[in-house]
Amino acid sequence: MYYIIAASILLQLAAAVYALRLIGLTGHRISWILIAVGLAGMVHRRMHTLWMGMLGRGHPDMIFELVGLGVSILVFMGVILIRPVFKQLKEANDKLAASEARFRTVADFTYDWEYWRGPDGEFRYVSPSCLRVTGYPREAFINDPGLLERIVHPEDADVVAAHLSSERGQSGGSDFDFRIIAADGTMHWLGHRCVPVTDAAGTPLGTRASNRLIDTRKNAEENLRRSRRRYRNLVEQAHAIVLELSIDGRIQFMNSFGRDFFGYGEEEIKGRRASELMLTDASAPESVDVSARDEIEVRRRNGSSAWLSLASSLSTDRDGRVIGILVIGIDVTAHKAAEKLREDVERIVRHDLKSPLMGIVGLPAMMLKADNLTARQREMLEVLEEAGMRMMDLINQSLTLYKLESGTYVHRPVPTDWLGMVRQAARGLESHKAFHQSVKISVDGVPATAGDTLVIPGDPTLLYGMVANLIKNALEAAGDSPVLIALTRGDPAVMEIRNSLPVAESVRETFFAKYSTYGKHDGTGLGTYSAHLAVKAHSGAISMETSEDAGTVVRVELPAT
Q: pLDDT tens for residues 4-34?
A: 778 877 887 887 887 777 777 776 778 778 8
CATH architecture under which domain 238-331 falls: 2-Layer Sandwich (3.30)
Question: Is the per-residue pLDDT at 189 higher than 70?
Answer: yes
| CATH class, 111-219 region | alpha beta
Please give the distance of CA 240 from its chain centroid, rounded to a whole number.
25
Q: How confident is the model at residue 351 (pLDDT cuts 50, 70, 90)?
A: low
- pLDDT score for 288: 42
pLDDT digits (tens, 9 = 90+) for 364-396: 878 888 888 888 888 888 878 777 776 776 676
Report DSSP letters for 455-477, one per residue: EEEE-HHHHHHHHHHHHHHHHHT
Nearest to 546, CA basis, from 510, 513, 499: 499
Three-state SS at 553: strand
- The terminus-to-terminus CA distance of the chain in angstroms comes to 144
Please report which confidence band the pLDDT of residue 286 belongs to, taking 50, 70 and 90 as the band edges: very low
Indicate left, alpha or beta for 314 from its phi (over 0: left) and psi (-120 to 50: alpha): beta
Lowest mean pLDDT among 162-166, 220-224, 279-283: 279-283
The DSSP secondary-structure symbol of 64 reads H
Q: Is the pLDDT of residue 416 over 90?
A: yes
Is the predicted pLDDT of residue 321 greater than 70, yes or no? yes
H helices of 119-214, in order, are: 130-134, 138-143, 147-150, 157-167
Q: Where are the domains of the chain?
A: 2-105, 111-219, 238-331, 336-404, 411-558
pLDDT at 453: 93
Of residues 459 and 393, the one with the higher pLDDT is: 459
Superfamily of domain 411-558: Histidine kinase-like ATPase, C-terminal domain (3.30.565.10)
pLDDT at residue 405 in the model: 76
Mean per-residue pLDDT of the chain:
83
Task: Please state, in angstroms and rounded to a whole number, the distance separating the CA atoms of residues 471 and 212.
Answer: 81
**Is-same-fold flag (111-219; 238-331)?**
yes
Q: How far apart are CA 176 and CA 253, in angstroms?
A: 31
> CA–CA separation, 7 vs 11, rounded Å?
6
**pTM for the model:** 0.42
pLDDT at site 289: 43
